[in-house]
Amino acid sequence: MKNDLRIAFMGTPEFAVASLRALLESGYSIPVVVTAPDRPAGRGRKLQPSAVKVFALQHGIEVLQPERLRDPDFLEQLKEHRINLQVVVAFRMLPREVWSLPQYGTFNLHASLLPDYRGAAPINWAVINGETRTGVTTFFIDEKIDTGNIILQRETAIGPGESAGELHDRLMHLGAALVVETVGRIAAGNLDTRAQKHLQSSKQAPKLDRENCRVAWTEPTGQLYNKIRGLSPYPGAWTFLEHGGDLNPVKLFKAAEAEIPEQGDPGQIRIKGHRWFAATGNGWLEILELQLPGKKKMAAREVLNGLELQVTSRFL
C-alpha cells in the first residue's frame, strides 16, 4: 500500500523538518505541506517563512498557509490533492473538518511518553521536573489535545546535565524515525493501537509564559538547576538583578550546583574571583551563562569583566 499513500504533512518549526525530510528520503509521496502563515521577525520585522515552508519549497512541494483551518477554500485545496493520510508534527490543534478528512486518518508526533506531559511544552517540562527518562509518541488525533489512540512510542534517557535544547535535538531525530516507522505500519496495515481513555497522568506540559519562567530563589538548588537547563536556550529562565539602585531583568541559561558551607539569603550574590554564585532556598548555584538587557548571551566571567557588582546586589 506504500505506493497508494498520498500524505499531507503539517508542521512549522525545525523540529518538524526532520520528520518531513525522513519521509521524503523513505520514498513517500507528499504532494502538499500545510504550515503557518509567514510572520514578521527580526529587527526589520520582515515577513519570514516557517522552516517547514522553506524546506518544502526547496523540494518542489506545494505549500498551503491557511489563517483559518476551517476556511472552505483551504479544505477544498486539501481535498484536491486526494490525500489519504495526514502527518502532524509541531503544528496547531486541528478541527474535526481537517483531521477526519483522510481515509487512513491523521496522526501526530508528540515529544513525550503519553499520557505524561500532554500540552505545548513537553520537552521543557520534563527537564524542569527533573525527569530521567522521556521519549516520543505517535497517536491518532481526536477531538481533545494529545488524547488519541497511541500507535508507537520510543523511550530515551535524559542526561543529568542535558538542557532542553540538547534534548530537543535528540528527540527531533528520534521522532523522525518514529514517524517513518508509523507510516510504514499504516502502509502495511500493521497497526495495534491502544486507547488513552483509561490512562491518566498528573504530569502536564502547559504553555510557557513569563510567570512560569521566572526563577524563585527560595526554591531548592536542584530544582532551580533543573529549571534553568529546562528553559535553555529558549525561552530562558529569568530573574531581576538589583544592582546600583536599578532593577533589570536577566536571563539565565547555564548554572551548576555549588558547594559553599554557609547558607546565604535566597537571591544573595557572591563573587569569588571570576566566579558568580547565587544563594537558593537550601544552598548555592554557580551562574555560568546569562544575558543582561540589550546584550548578547555571555559567560558569567565575561559579564563580570564589565559589571562591578556591589555587596548589596542581588537577584529577586
State the CB neighbour count (10 A cutoff) for residue 305.
Answer: 10
112 is in an annotated binding site: yes
In the 8-state DSSP scheme, what is residue 112?
Answer: S
Handedness of CA 275, 280, 283, 288 (dihedral sign): negative
Task: Put residue 300 in one of left, alpha, beta given phi > 0 → left and psi -120 to 50 → alpha.
Answer: alpha
The gap between the terminal CA atoms of the chain, to the nearest Å, is 60
Burial class of residue 185, CB neighbours in 10 A (0-12, 13-18, 19+) = middle
Give phi and psi for 267, each to the nearest 5.
95, -15
Binding residues for (6S)-5,6,7,8-tetrahydrofolate: 112-115
